[in-house]
Amino acid sequence: MRVKKLESEGYIEGYSAQINVARLGQTLTVFTEITLKNHRQTDFARFLATVEKIEQLIECHVVSGGYDYLLKFVTAGISEYQAIMERLVELDVGIDKYFSFVEIAGREGTSATDEHISAVESSSALRPLLRRAALAITNILRHPNLRSAEAGRGVCAQTEDPVVCAIQRR
């Protein structure tokens, strides 16, 4: 009963499984600082529209300071990461410069979301389901009007994807 009350009052937003990423195979995590050439709204929108399509991108943060974006990639290895970055530069999406930082060691107890998305990149069986879930969560967080249950149901009515629907109703 107490758990239901905490859920209804918004203290508990959801539940997740913890995946042992080490059992899924070798992965490489790379953090990338990206600076855009121009800083107009259209430049940011064009860049985001492009990187949102990259399956190996699991986090994308707009930051203040010496660069514009901090991205987190989980790839099968350095060659896959390099191919992604070369493709981004070739697409001419406004990147002025980027710096890559390869994770040497992660800390114990990383977030369940990171583990879920890492699993997406490491397990082809889990990839479609978890990738859709991650994208749905990202879209909800980016659009404040989707944070309420009512707004979530409205958007859910526009999609037939049960994963997106379930997450947006949370």
pTM here is 0.56
CATH class of 20-110: alpha beta
Residue ranges per domain, the chain?
Answer: 20-110
Whether the CB-CB separation of 12 and 6 falls below 8 Å is answered with: yes
User: What string of pLDDT tens digits covers the 170 residues of the chain?
Assistant: 788 889 899 998 888 877 665 676 788 889 999 999 999 999 999 999 999 999 999 999 999 999 999 999 988 899 999 999 999 999 999 999 999 999 988 765 444 344 444 444 444 444 555 555 555 555 554 444 444 443 334 444 444 444 444 444 44
